[in-house]
Amino acid sequence: MTGIVYLNDRFVSEPDARISVYDGGWLHGAGLFETMRAENGCVFRLESHIERLRRSASKLLMAIEPEALPDRNVFAELLERNSLKAARVRLMVTAGSMRGHRTTDNSDFTVCATVADLSPYPADFYEKGVPVIICDFRISPSDPLAGHKTTCYLPRLLGLRQAQQGKCVEALWFTTANRLAEGSISNVFIIKNGVLNTPPLDTPVLPGITRGIVLEIARQIGIEVQECPLTVNDLLDADEVLLTNAIMQVMPVIRVEKHDIHNGRAGPLGKRLLQEYRTRVKEECMSK
C-alpha cells in the first residue's frame, strides 16, 4: 500500500512527494530532523521535539516559526491516513531551494513529515542487555554541528556500521579530549553506587528528549543525578550503562568491547527507569 506523507502543507502520496534537486538538504545536507515515537495515535512529547528543532534551526539555518511546522493535529491526521496508531515518526526541515547560489538566509524551508511502523527493538535487548563498541571517530567541541540533529548523518551511520561489524547494537563516541559523549543514535548514562551520571550538554552532546525525560524521572523517584564529565574508566567501572532515544527508550548495555558491565546482565536501576519511562509514554499518549 502506498503511504501518505506531509510535504510543505499538503498530504501527498509517497510517489508524489518530490523536492527540488536544488534543495539545500539534497545538495549540502543543510537540514535538521527529529525522530519521534507515536502511541495511541499520539506523538510523545511532540512539543519538546519541535522546540529542539527550532532552536537548532535558529543557530544553523534561520529562524522558523511554530506555525510553519506541522502541529499535533497534522500528525494525528498523518497517522490516521496511514492507518497507524503506534509509529516511528520523522520530521525533516531543510534549507529549501539553493538554486542560483542562494543562501539559507533567503530561501524557503522544505518541511516533510513521514510515519512508519514502529518496529520496536527485540524484547531480548531489554531483558538481557546489548553489547556496544567504542567508535573510532571523535566529536570535536568546535564542530558547529555538534549537539544538533542534522541531516549530515553519514559519520553516525559509519559509527553504526562499525558497531554492526562487531555484532554490537551501538557505537559510543568520545570527544577529542577523551570525554565520553554519546552513542551514534543515542544518549548514554552510567550508574555508579546508585548515582545516575550522564555527560553534560556542553560536552557537547545532543540534548536528547528521552535523555531529559530519564533525568526527570530519576529525580522524581529519588535517584541522585549528576551531569558531569566522564572518562573511559568511568564507563568501564560502571555498575550499569544505559542507552536512550525515542525509539529504544531505555536500553541496558551489558558489554563494552570485551568488558562486561554488571557481570553481563541488565541491572535493576535500568529496568526500573525503563518501566517508569514506558508508563510515562502510555499515560501521556492516552491523555491526549
Q: Which of 90-94, 159-163, 171-175, 283-287 has the lowest mean pLDDT?
A: 283-287
For residue range 175-213, what is the model confidence (pLDDT) as tens digits? Answer: 999 999 999 999 999 999 999 999 999 999 999 999 999
Whether 282 shows a pLDDT value over 50: the answer reads: yes
Angle subtended by helix axes 209-220 and 46-60, to nearest 10: 130
Span 4-117 CATH architecture: 2-Layer Sandwich (3.30)
CATH superfamily of 123-287: D-amino Acid Aminotransferase, subunit A, domain 2 (3.20.10.10)
pLDDT tier for residue 105 given thresholds of 50, 70 and 90: very low
Q: What is the mean pLDDT of the chain?
A: 95
β-sheet bridge partners, residue 13: 4
Of 227, 219, 213, 216, residue with least CA distance to 182: 227
For residue range 221-231, what is the model confidence (pLDDT) as tens digits? Answer: 999 999 999 99
For residue range 132-175, what is the model confidence (pLDDT) as tens digits? Answer: 999 999 999 999 999 999 999 999 999 999 999 999 999 999 99
pTM of the predicted model, to two decimals? 0.95
Which segments of the chain belong to CATH 3.20.10.10?
123-287
pLDDT reported for residue 104: 46
Whole-number Cα distances in Å, 42 to 38, 184, 244: 5, 26, 20
Which segments of the chain belong to CATH 3.30.470.10?
4-117
